[in-house]
């Protein structure tokens, strides 16, 4: 009886706990012309990306907060607060990102300035091809 239980429990655990085989690598998505993003002011951009969602590959709208530096270097933050995933926004006057849920505050380079957020803002991988900003998968955080 114990063996039968085991012969059922092991496949069940594998079935539920191991991740499914990945269908493909995350893709890079072209977004906007870099020239359209003002330097020094975080800008929210939206783009469409493919997401493997169970048995379906769906196209979904995604957004990123993009910060362009004086030398055209670009950082793209994922739009969720690293505390509990609320959408944060850029507060011009205080020059910080503020999360409305639990008042986490981040600097323009994503560092935590205050509030409960456990780590800096997560970033998308980025590259620039022919003047266009391309957004890749989210960088693994430390």
Partner 1 sequence: MDWLENRTGIESAVKSFLYEDIPASAGWHQIIGSMAVFFFVIQVFTGGLLAFNYAPTPGEAYNSVKYIMTEVTGGALIRGLHHWGASMMLIIVVLHMIQVFIYGAYKKPREATWMVGVVLLLITLVFGLSGYLLPWDNRAYFGTVVTTRITSQAPLAGPYLLRLLGTQGDSVGNVTFSRFYALHTVLLPLLTLILIGIHIYLVRKHGVAADPGDTAPKRKFFPEQVFKDTVGVAVAFIILFLMAVFAKVPLERLADPTDTAYIPRPEWYFLFLFQMLKFFKGPMEIFVSVVLPGLAVLTLLLVPFIDRGPMLRLGKRTFAISVVVLAAIAWTGLTTAAVVTTPKNQESAEDTETPATETPEAAAPATSAPIAFESAWQRLTPEESAGLGIFKKQGCLGCHPGAGQKGIGPDLTKLPAIHRDVAWLVPHFQNPSKIVPGSVMPAVDLSKADLNALSLFVLTLTPQNESALLATPDFVTHGAMLYQSNHCDACHQIHGVGSTLAPALDGVGLRHNRAWLEKHFADPASVSKGSIMPPYKFMPADLDAICKYLLQLPKGA
Residues that bind partner 1 (CB under 8 A): 1, 3-4, 7-8, 11-12, 14-16, 18-21, 23, 25, 27, 48, 54-56, 58-59
Q: Which is nearer to partner 1, 27 or 139 (CB)?
A: 27
Minimal distance, residue 40 CB to partner 1, in Å: 30
Helix (H, G, I), strand (E, B) or coil at 36: helix
Given a contact cutoff of 8 angstroms between Cβ atoms, the answer to whether 63 and 46 are in contact is yes
Distance from C-alpha of 110 to C-alpha of 112, rounded to nearest angstrom:
7
Helix (H, G, I), strand (E, B) or coil at 12: helix
Helix (H, G, I), strand (E, B) or coil at 79: coil
Q: Which is nearer to partner 1, 19 or 118 (CB)?
A: 19
Q: Which is nearer to partner 1, 14 or 142 (CB)?
A: 14
Minimal distance, residue 69 CB to partner 1, in Å: 24
């Amino acid at each position: 009886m114990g063996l039968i239980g085991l012969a059922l429990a092991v496949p069940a655990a594998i079935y539920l706990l191991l991740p499914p085989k990945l269908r493909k690598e995350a893709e890079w998505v072209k977004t906007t012309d870099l020239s359209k993003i003002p330097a020094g002011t975080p800008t929210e951009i939206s783009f469409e990306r493919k997401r493997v969602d169970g048995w379906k590959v769906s196209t979904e709208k995604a957004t990123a907060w993009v910060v362009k530096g004086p030398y055209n270097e670009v950082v793209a933050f994922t739009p969720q607060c690293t505390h509990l995933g609320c959408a944060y926004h850029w507060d011009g006057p205080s020059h910080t990102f503020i999360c409305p849920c639990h008042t986490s505050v981040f600097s323009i380079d994503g560092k935590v300035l205050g509030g409960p957020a456990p780590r800096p803002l997560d970033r998308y991988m980025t590259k620039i091809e022919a003047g266009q900003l391309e957004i890749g998968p989210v960088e693994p955080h430390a």
